[in-house]
Amino acid sequence: MGLSLLLVATVLVSAGIGPVSVPPLTVAKVLLNAVAVPSSVSLGGGTEGSLIAAFTAVSVGFTPVFSFSVPETSATIVMSIRMPRIVLGAVVGFALATSGVVMQGFFRNPMADPSIIGVSSGAAVGAVAVIALPFALPFGVGLHTAAFVTGLLTAFGVYVIATEGDRTPVATLLLAGVAVQTFLGAIISYLLVNSGESLERAIYWLMGHLHNASWSDVEITLTLVPPLFLALLAYGRDLNVLLLGEEDAQTLGIEVERTKRLLLGLSSLVTAAAVTVSGVIGFVGLIVPHIMRLVVGPDHRVLLPTSALAGATFLVATDTIARSGPAQLPVGIITAALGAPFFLYLLRRREVHAL
C-alpha cells in the first residue's frame, strides 16, 4: 500500500539525515545488505536417513542476499546509530496511533487518546520515581520495568474504580481516568520538585524522546506491539459495531462488557509498551487517527492499519526533525508543534464530521 511505501521512503531519507549526511541510495544499500534469507538447509545426523530424524535435525544457514559496496563508516552510522532510533520511532508511532484509534472508537469521544485511562501518567510516575528518587528500587527494577508496570497498574486501577458490578460505563471510565491522571500529575510534580540534579533528565523523559535508542529497546517493543496490534485488528468489526452504542452492539451479538475489557487491556498494553521506551509523546495518538479517519473513513478494519502506518511515518519524520537541529529536541515538542497546526488546517479545509 501507498502508506507502506511512504514509511519506507521516510525511513530511508531519515536515516541519511544527521551530522553526517548519507545519501538515501547508500542507506538502501546498507539496509539491503542487512537482509538475510535462509540460504542453506542442511540435514544433520540421521545416517539411517529416517524422515523424522531429518526433520528434527534441520539447521538453517542465513546468508546476506545483497552485497553492495558501501563505505564502512556509512554502514556503521546507519545500522548502529540511526536505525535503532528510527525503528523505535516507527514502532512507537505505530503503537500510539493504534491505541489512539481504539480509544477514540471505544469512548466514542474525539478527545480520547492513548493515555486517557492513565497509562501514560502511571508510566511517568514509575519512570520519574526511578530517575528522581535518591535510592534504587528493590529487586534491581530499572526504569523500563518500573514505567511499564506502573502504567499498567494505573490503567487497571482506573478500570477497577469505574467498574460497578459487572458493568463499566464508558463515561465513568473517562472521568475516573481524568481524575486519576490529575492525581498522578500531582505526584509527578512532587517528585520533580524534590528531584534535585536529576530534574533535567526527568523532564526530558516526560517530554517524550527517542534518543539513546538501542536495538535492545527496539526488541522489547517490537516483540510486544505487532501481536497486540493483530489482536486489536481482529476486533475491528466489534469496534465498528460498538460505535452504534453499547445497547445496539449487545443486540447485534457483541459481548459488550467482555469486549470492552479486552480492548482496554490490549490497548493499555500497546500504550505501555510505547510509553516505556519513549516517554510521553503527545498528539500522535490523538491526531493521527483523526487525520486518517478523514482520509479512509470510520471502518476500523481499514482505519487501524492505515493509522498505525501513518503514525509510524509521522513519528519517524518528526523525530528526524527533532534530532537534526543544532540541539537535539525531545520529539514530543515537534509532534505537538507540527501535528496540531496540521490538524487545524485539515479541520478548516474539510468539513469534518463529528467523531
Give contact residues for other proteins (rule: CB under 8 A): 108, 234-235, 237-238, 240-241, 243-245, 247-248, 250-256, 293, 297-299, 353-355
CB 225 within 8 A of CB 308: no
Q: What is the four-CA torsion angle of 162, 166, 169, 172, rounded to 10 degrees?
A: -10
Identity of the residue, 245 or 341, whose beta carbon is nearer to other proteins in the bound complex:
245
Nearest to 275 by CA among 86, 132, 107, 95: 95
Identity of the residue, 58 or 230, whose beta carbon is nearer to other proteins in the bound complex:
230
The distance of closest approach from Cβ of residue 324 to other proteins in the complex, given in angstroms and rounded to an integer, is 37
C-alpha count within 13 angstroms, C-beta hemisphere, residue 54: 8
Identity of the residue, 5 or 230, whose beta carbon is nearer to other proteins in the bound complex:
230
The distance of closest approach from Cβ of residue 299 to other proteins in the complex, given in angstroms and rounded to an integer, is 7
Identity of the residue, 17 or 302, whose beta carbon is nearer to other proteins in the bound complex:
302
The distance of closest approach from Cβ of residue 301 to other proteins in the complex, given in angstroms and rounded to an integer, is 9
* Residue 144: exposure state from Cβ atoms within 10 A (0-12, 13-18, ≥19): middle
Phi/psi of residue 223, each to 5°?
-80, -30
DSSP calls for 272-291: HHHHHHH----SHHHHHHHH
Cell numbers at 53, concatenated: 530424524
Three-class DSSP labels, 152-164: HHHHHHHHHHHCE
Identity of the residue, 214 or 251, whose beta carbon is nearer to other proteins in the bound complex:
251
Identify each DSSP E strand in the chain by its residue range.
36-43, 58-64
Identity of the residue, 110 or 157, whose beta carbon is nearer to other proteins in the bound complex:
110
The distance of closest approach from Cβ of residue 293 to other proteins in the complex, given in angstroms and rounded to an integer, is 7
The distance of closest approach from Cβ of residue 257 to other proteins in the complex, given in angstroms and rounded to an integer, is 10
The distance of closest approach from Cβ of residue 94 to other proteins in the complex, given in angstroms and rounded to an integer, is 21
Helix, strand, coil % in the chain, rounded to nearest 5 = 70, 5, 25
What are the distances in angstroms from CA 31 to CA 12, 64, 83, 248? 9, 11, 9, 49
Identity of the residue, 48 or 164, whose beta carbon is nearer to other proteins in the bound complex:
164
CB 232 within 8 A of CB 106: no
The distance of closest approach from Cβ of residue 14 to other proteins in the complex, given in angstroms and rounded to an integer, is 33
The distance of closest approach from Cβ of residue 256 to other proteins in the complex, given in angstroms and rounded to an integer, is 7
3-class secondary structure, 18 = coil
Nearest to 154 by CA among 115, 103, 105, 97: 115
Identity of the residue, 65 or 237, whose beta carbon is nearer to other proteins in the bound complex:
237
